[in-house]
């Protein structure tokens, strides 16, 4: 199983287990009063720029981004250190009033971020073998970045996964 296949297996897992169960605010950079909730998108590697969104994807953020920190193969086993980044848009409180929505900015967007992270960690812990091929290892760690690009909020989840090692050369198998 290639590195890309591991990332794709994790993406499919998150699309099935996380995207449908949570809705978060869609970014509205030009009109803060335009309030809409969407299911988080799942990306591999990086957030695609405008114009490169896959068909049917409403917004690049909120999202989970499946990435690779690094990988090692010691001949006995192959381990990949996975980083899932989480990004949400949460500028403040939109409260329903008779005339529509009343908006008050606040700095509580970390709640939405941590809810997304918590649900993702819970599903990873419940399903430690993904697609029958990727084995999630402990420890699973998560956190938030010290500085946040308000009204966007960013955090991360890291954990190792094991997969079958690449075949070694015949000479290495015999003599090493």
Partner 1 sequence: MSFKDIIQSDLNVFFNLDEFAETHTIDGRSLNVIVDNDRLQQRSKKEYDGISVGEILFYVKASDFGERPEQGTPMVFDGRQMYVFDCREDDGVYEIILQQNRGI
CB of 57 to partner 1, least distance (A): 13
| Count of residues that interact with partner 1, criterion CB under 8 A | 28
Query: What is the rounded CA–CA span in Å between residue 89 and residue 104?
Result: 15
CB of 151 to partner 1, least distance (A): 5
Strands 78-89 and 152-163: antiparallel
**Span near partner 1 by CB under 8 A; candidates 29-37, 118-126, 129-137, 163-171:** 29-37
CB of 79 to partner 1, least distance (A): 24
**Residue 123 CB-half CA count within 13 A:** 20
Residue 151 within binding range of partner 1, rule CB under 8 A:
yes
Question: Which among 148, 155, 147, 131 has a CA at the least distance from the CA of 40?
Answer: 155
Pick 75 or 100: Cβ nearer partner 1: 100
61-90 residues near partner 1, rule: CB under 8 A: 61, 63, 65, 85, 87, 89
Question: Angle at CA 167, nearest 5°, toward 125 and 4?
Answer: 45
Tokens standing for 112?
């939405």
**Span near partner 1 by CB under 8 A; candidates 12-20, 30-38, 112-120, 125-133:** 30-38
CA 103 to chain centre: 28
Cis peptide before 151 (omega within 30 of 0): yes
Residue 50 within binding range of partner 1, rule CB under 8 A:
yes
Q: Could you list the residues that contact partner 1 (CB under 8 A)?
A: 27, 29-33, 46-47, 49-50, 59-61, 63, 65, 85, 87, 89, 91-92, 103, 105, 147, 149-152, 154
């Amino acid at each position: 199983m290639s590195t890309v296949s591991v990332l794709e297996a994790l993406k499919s897992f998150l699309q099935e287990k996380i995207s449908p169960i949570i809705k978060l605010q869609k970014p509205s950079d030009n009109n803060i009063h335009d309030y809409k909730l969407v299911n988080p998108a799942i990306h591999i590697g990086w957030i695609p720029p405008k114009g490169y969104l896959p068909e049917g994807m409403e917004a690049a953020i909120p999202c989970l981004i499946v990435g690779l920190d690094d990988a090692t193969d010691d001949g006995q086993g192959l381990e990949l250190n996975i980083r899932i980044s989480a990004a949400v848009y949460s500028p403040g409180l939109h409260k329903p009033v008779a005339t529509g929505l009343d908006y008050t900015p606040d700095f509580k967007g970390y709640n939405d971020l941590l809810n997304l992270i918590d649900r993702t960690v819970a599903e990873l812990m419940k399903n430690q073998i993904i697609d029958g091929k990727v084995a999630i290892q402990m420890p699973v760690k998560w956190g938030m970045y010290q500085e946040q690009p308000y009204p966007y909020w960013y955090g991360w989840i890291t954990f190792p996964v094991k997969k079958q090692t690449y075949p070694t050369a015949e000479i290495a198998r015999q003599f090493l």
